């Protein structure tokens, strides 16, 4: 049995670590997965390529395949999963969420399980409970997302499970979520250009200073309320200044973006990348300004509004 799928990168509107409530938007950078399943495989193995280079740690995507098989009642099967990604690793662009979504959807595709908004949603138990809902031949996309969220927690690559990032990656558009309850509160499609500043250094989420981020909670709540009202650009800019302070990242790239007329710019995730929603008038000015920052690259893309399971 073979299956294929893809999922997109995402940018941060509200980082959920401080409050377990977050917001993110899909970005047109992609991770693609191919899965082969069968009874003759011993467990699940993987092969991972990021920007053309082979990576060693396949724990996350292998766990996604295992959990998808378990949720669908197919524990007797094993498999092999291969992913290819154009999303920079450990850059704040949700490469883990994209990989988890792509691997999960490819496994469901191989099993002949259809992902549909019309399928009943099976809300899982409380966040601390590791039980997954038992899935049928047709499942709700949020249940597919929850498989990757659980895998991310078990693989130790996420602090909250990154349900907001996973929703943006699979569903596209701008999403607002309650990560602790794994609930989608809002989804809005919006056409916009995106510029991403990607420094050479990597920053892994699990290495971030959680205690300092928790101190931000009352102020992140203000930004979250803006996101709930659909004021995503104001929300992400406030989020960016808050998390730059907590994580000791420079706010200079954000200030330069604001000077170029950009209304929405933020540190993405726990860094080190910065993402900006840009207009036709501001895109070239910001490219020129960010282009002067050493040891970094600029990615020009746009918001992804595509449902990855369609």
- Output the pLDDT for position 131: 67
- In a domain? residue 45: yes
Q: Is 181 in the same domain as 87? A: yes
Would you write out the chain's pLDDT as a tens digit for each of its 310 residues?
999 999 999 999 999 999 999 999 999 999 999 999 999 998 999 999 999 999 888 999 999 999 999 999 998 999 999 999 999 998 999 999 999 999 999 999 999 999 999 999 988 766 666 667 677 789 999 999 999 999 999 998 888 889 999 999 999 999 999 999 999 999 999 999 999 999 998 888 878 899 999 999 999 999 999 999 999 999 999 999 999 999 999 999 999 999 999 999 999 999 999 999 999 999 999 999 999 999 999 999 999 999 999 8
- Output the pLDDT for position 196: 98
- Output the pLDDT for position 56: 85
- Output the pLDDT for position 90: 87
- Distance of alpha carbon 265 from alpha carbon 167, whole angstroms: 20
Query: What is the residue range of 233's domain?
Result: 193-302
Residue where one domain finishes, among candidates 188, 218, 248: 188
Residue where one domain finishes, among candidates 167, 188, 209: 188
Domain count within the chain: 2
Question: 41 with 78: CB under 8 angstroms?
Answer: yes
- Output the pLDDT for position 61: 97
CATH code of the domain covering residue 109: 3.30.230.10
Residues ≥6 apart with Cβ < 8 Å to 114: 137, 138, 139
- Distance of alpha carbon 273 from alpha carbon 255, whole angstroms: 14
DSSP code string of the chain: -EEEEEEEEEEEEE-TTTTSEEEEEEEEEEEEEEEEEETTS-SEEEEEEETTEEES--HHHHHHHHHHHHHTT-TT-EEEEEEEE-SPTTSSS-HHHHHHHHHHHHHHHHHTPEE-TTSPP---S-TT--PPPPP-SEE-HHHHHHHHHHHHHHHT--SS--HHHHHHHHH-SEEEEETTTTEEEEEE----EEEEEEESS---GGGS-HHHHHTTHHHHHHHHHHHHTT-HHHHHHHHHHHHHHHHT--SHHHHHHHHTT-SEEEE-TTSS-EEEEE-TTTHHHHHHHHTTSSSEEEEEEEB----TT-
Peptide bond into 272 cis (omega under 30): yes
Residues ≥6 apart with Cβ < 8 Å to 211: none
- Output the pLDDT for position 75: 87
How open is the CA angle 65-24-301, to the nearest 5 degrees? 90
Q: To which residue do tokens 């197919």 refer?
A: 74
Q: Is 103 in the same domain as 142? A: yes
User: What's the token pair of residue 59?
Assistant: 């724990």
Q: Is 57 in the same domain as 99? A: yes
Q: Is 17 in the same domain as 148? A: yes
Question: 141 with 118: CB under 8 angstroms?
Answer: no
pTM of the model: 0.95
- In a domain? residue 32: yes
Q: Is 50 in the same domain as 176? A: yes
CATH code of the domain covering residue 290: 3.30.70.890
Q: Is 182 in the same domain as 209? A: no
């Amino acid at each position: 049995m073979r299956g294929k799928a893809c999922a997109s990168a995402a940018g941060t509107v509200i980082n959920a670590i401080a409050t377990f409530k977050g917001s993110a938007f899909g970005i047109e950078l992609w991770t693609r997965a191919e899965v082969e399943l069968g009874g003759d495989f011993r467990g699940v193995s993987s092969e991972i390529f990021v920007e053309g280079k082979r990576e060693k740690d396949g724990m996350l995507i292998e766990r996604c395949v295992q959990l998808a098989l378990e949720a669908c009642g197919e524990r007797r099967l094993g498999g092999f999963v291969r992913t290819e990604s154009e999303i920079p690793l450990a850059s704040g662009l949700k490469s883990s969420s994209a990989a988890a979504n792509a691997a999960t959807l490819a496994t469901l595709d191989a099993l002949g399980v259809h992902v549909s908004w019309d399928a009943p949603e099976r809300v899982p138990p409380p966040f601390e409970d590791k039980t997954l809902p038992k899935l049928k031949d047709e499942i709700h996309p949020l249940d597919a997302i929850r498989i990757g969220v659980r895998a991310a927690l078990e693989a130790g690559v996420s602090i909250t499970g990154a349900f907001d990032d996973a929703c943006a990656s699979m569903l596209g558009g701008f999403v607002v979520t309650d990560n602790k309850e794994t609930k989608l509160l809002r989804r809005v499609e919006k056409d916009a250009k995106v510029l991403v500043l990607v420094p050479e250094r990597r920053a892994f989420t699990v290495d971030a200073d959680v205690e300092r981020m928790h101190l931000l909670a009352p102020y992140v709540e203000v930004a979250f309320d803006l996101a709930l009202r659909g004021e995503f650009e104001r929300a992400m800019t406030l989020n960016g200044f808050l998390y730059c302070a907590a994580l000791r990242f420079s706010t200079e790239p954000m200030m330069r973006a604001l000077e170029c007329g950009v209304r929405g710019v933020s540190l993405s995730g726990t860094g080190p990348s910065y993402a900006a929603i840009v207009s036709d008038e501001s895109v070239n000015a910001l490219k020129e300004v960010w282009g002067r920052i050493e040891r970094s690259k600029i990615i020009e893309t746009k918001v992804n509004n595509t449902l990855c399971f369609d």
